[in-house]
Structure 1
């Protein structure tokens, strides 16, 4: 059995799983942001939420596989400590450590979402807002630690997903500030006389 596992193409697998985990995280984030847009109502809102949950959950599972395969890889193996303890990798400890932090962050987001009914809304929102820095950390990890970053398609992926994320985030902040400003009724002076 061990010989069979060691015969797997682990190095390509971990690279593919790393990129796939990033794309699933991006997709989950994008759908989560779209969920808050005013056009998302009724069945569409429910579908966005379902796919947001599926993509994010899939991203966490693929991230875990990415980490596990790094431990059995024969080309560039990592120890359990290097994977589980941030910034303990022999080479590029900072960039690999960001990957560990991103994984822990995704797990915390998933667990807090499962515990949402038991958490106070402001606490859940505060935890859920960590998805933005977690996404950035995962992206930096992929760019700086990923061995495929020099490939033009991978560069285009990072640039494209970052621009889309910024656009969706900016749109959401604009809508939020517009509704807050529009939600305050203007006082009209009373005429006397």
Structure 2
């Protein structure tokens, strides 16, 4: 059973990271208000939201399965308080920081209408910190962190997210309202 939990924990972590990669890129695209191929803008928002939820589900599965695994020996404190874990505390702590950031984004997302759009957006910016921290956790703490296939996945993810972030920060990036005012959409 422990081998199955360990394997499930690893796979769910990889899937969560891949889905969060897609969610970050779609989030940037959503903010621009542009279409994704032939998909209308409102559908891009829904795809971003659904992939983000799915990524969060896989993250919860990742953490839960490792809490049940006798080898990982994680407890609730390890999950919520960074750098206290028994196994590679620094790298596990990065995973905890990323998890806490996801929790903050999820909670503010659920409370979006009560806390206001400005607060929601401010906290949502934490995803720009969460993603590289989660990637570093996967590389440093993961069993396959230096395996060839994972390095390819990591390099590809960095290239895709890096390109999207550079575009987001460039002068060519127009947010929806600005683009509409200029008649670009």
Q: Which interval holds the TM-score relative to the shorter structure?
A: 0.7 to 0.9
1:9 is paired with a residue whose SS is: helix
The structural deviation recorded for 1:7 is: 6.3
Q: Any residues of structure 2 matched to 1:45-124 within 5 Å, and which?
A: 45-124=41-120
Q: Any residues of structure 2 matched to 1:1-193 within 5 Å, and which?
A: 6=1, 9-37=4-32, 39-40=34-35, 44-175=40-171
Check 1:88–1:52 CA distance in 2 against 1; reply closer, same or farther (3 A cut). Answer: same
CA RMSD of aligned residues (A): 2.4
- Asked if structure 1 preserves the Cα contact closer than 8 Å seen for 2:82 and 2:93, the reply is yes
Aligned equivalents of 1:81 and 1:113: distance in 2? Answer: 24
Question: 5+ residue gaps in structure 2?
Answer: 180-185
- Asked if structure 1 preserves the Cα contact closer than 8 Å seen for 2:28 and 2:164, the reply is yes
- Asked if structure 2 preserves the Cα contact closer than 8 Å seen for 1:18 and 1:66, the reply is yes
Question: 5+ residue gaps in structure 1?
Answer: 1-5, 184-193
Check 1:94–1:115 CA distance in 2 against 1; reply closer, same or farther (3 A cut). Answer: same
Aligned equivalents of 2:174 and 2:44: distance in 1? Answer: 23
2:47 is paired with a residue whose SS is: helix
Asked which structure has the greater CA Rg, the reply is 1
Aligned equivalents of 2:143 and 2:159: distance in 1? Answer: 22
TM-score, with length taken from structure 1: 0.81
Check 1:58–1:177 CA distance in 2 against 1; reply closer, same or farther (3 A cut). Answer: closer
